[in-house]
Amino acid sequence: MSGYHRGELAVQRRSGLAERAAHTARAVHTEIPAVAADFLAAQPLLVVGAADARGDLWCSLLTGTPGFLRARDARTLDVAALPHGGDPLAGVLAGVPDREPVPVGALAIEPARRRRMRVNGTAHQDPEGPGWRLRTEQVYANCPKYIQKRTLAPAPSTTATAAVPRVGARLTDADRELLGRSDTFFVTTADDTGAVDTNHRGGGPGFVSVHSPTLLSWPDYAGNAMFGTLGNLHVNPRAGLLVPAWESGGLLQLTGTARVLWGSDAGPEGRSVEFSVEKVLAAPSGGLLAEGPPEYSRANPALTTASTLRSVAPGDPRSARPG
Cα–Cα distance, 227 to 224 (Å, whole number)? 8
In tens, the pLDDT along 290-317 reads 988 999 999 999 987 543 433 333 334 3
- Residue 128 CB contacts under 8 Å (≥ 6 apart), including other chains: none
pTM: 0.92
The pLDDT value given to residue 85: 83
Q: What is the residue type of 141?
A: A
Q: Percentage of the chain with pLDDT > 90? A: 78
Is 50 exceeded by the pLDDT of residue 265?
yes
How would you class 1 by CB atoms within 10 Å of its CB: exposed for 0-12, middle for 13-18, buried for 19 or more? Answer: exposed
One-character DSSP codes across 287-314: SEEESS--B--TTPPPPSS-----PPPT
Cα–Cα distance, 232 to 76 (Å, whole number)? 24
Cα–Cα distance, 141 to 43 (Å, whole number)? 14
Could you tell me if 185 and 228 are in contact, meaning their C-beta atoms sit under 8 angstroms apart? no
Residue count of the chain: 323
Between 201 and 154, the higher pLDDT residue: 201
From the CB of residue 264, how many other CB atoms can be counted at a distance below 10 Å?
A: 7
Is 70 exceeded by the pLDDT of residue 162?
no
In tens, the pLDDT along 110-135 reads 999 999 999 999 999 988 888 999 99
